[in-house]
Amino acid sequence: MDALIRTEGLSLSFGGVVAADNIDFRLDVGERLAVIGQNGAGKTTFINICTGFLKPTRGRVWFDGKDVTGMEPRHIVRFGLGRSFQLPQLFLDHTVRQCLEISAAARQGRLSFFKPLAQSVNRREIEHTLELVSLRERGSELASSLPEGQRKLLDVAMALMLNPKLLIMDEPTSGVASEDKHDLMATLMRALDERKVTSWFVEHDVDIVSRYATRVAAWIAGKVAADGPPAEVLASAAVRREILGTA
Ligand SMILES: Nc1ncnc2c1ncn2[C@@H]1O[C@H](COP(=O)(O)OP(=O)(O)OP(=O)(O)O)[C@@H](O)[C@H]1O
Ligand SMILES: [Mg+2]
């Protein structure tokens, strides 16, 4: 089977820092990958290269069979590679519903000065997506009024409006109180399952990783140091020593 996303020899340095060190990686349809690693290990850099926000110094990225190396993010997203950000990228002075309308219009290439936004989008799709991430009751409120957990949900909902095959989420639970993290992840995973979206999320909380991932990849100093079933990776010596601090 072809990989949904695959990289070969992906490398990027910032001055003397090797943030991505010759990374060979693949993810298949239906996987739910958690990426773990210390601050500065290169987790976000790798995502940024795969999604076109950074260009690698060496190596290639294929998404859904197409070579997307060095392409602009807006082109890659159209092939079905969505992402959400460590800090949600919302239209804070718009309502929750308008944020989804903007995403939908962008997908259709129909963002236009000459047409009211609300006319150009499929209302049912928007309401269904709001429902899917449990934000329907907040649809008329400003995005800026949402607490962090709901901002994360809105960020993902906006990405879902682009009908991704793969959604990469950079720390979807960061900034969210620990007692709310499980509810947030449960909502996100339910939404992704319903839309049959393959997912990859960066996460520091081991409980969340063990509960929601089907596979774990551990990043150490710009390399994938361990990759496999969660129980195996979380028990490996390098991960316990370098990441979890439990060796
Ligand atoms: N635009 C940049 N310019 C210079 N150095 C950078 C840049 N982006 C990342 N780096 C460096 O590359 C390394 C990897 O950073 P990256 O943000 O990918 O780590 P991370 O694993 O996502 O960390 P965190 O868990 O803190 O989000 C770090 O040493 C970082 O300082
Ligand atoms: Mg990061």
pTM (2 d.p.): 0.92
CA 49 / ligand 1 centre spacing (Å)? 12
Q: Please list, in sequence order, all residues whose beta carbon lies within 8 angstroms of the beta carbon of residue 65, skipping any fewer than 6 positions away.
A: 2
Nearest atom of ligand 1 to the alpha carbon of 171: 27
Per-residue burial over 136-158, b = 16 or more CB atoms within 10 Å of its CB, e = otherwise: eebbeebbeebebbbbbbbbbbb
CA distances to 21, 41, 144, 151 from 202, rounded to whole Å, are 18, 12, 24, 17
Residue 118 has pLDDT above 70, yes or no: no
Q: For residue 111, what pLDDT band results from cuts at 50, 70 and 90?
A: low
Counting every residue written for the chain, the total comes to: 247
Ligand 1, pocket-test mutation among 13, 18, 21, 45, most atoms within 8 A of CB:
45
Nearest atom of ligand 1 to the alpha carbon of 48: 18
Helix H or strand E encompassing 58: strand 58-63
Model confidence over 47-76: pLDDT tens digits? 999 999 999 999 999 999 999 999 999 899
Token pair for 105: 């219009």
Phi-psi region of 245 (alpha: psi -120 to 50; beta: other; left: phi over 0): left
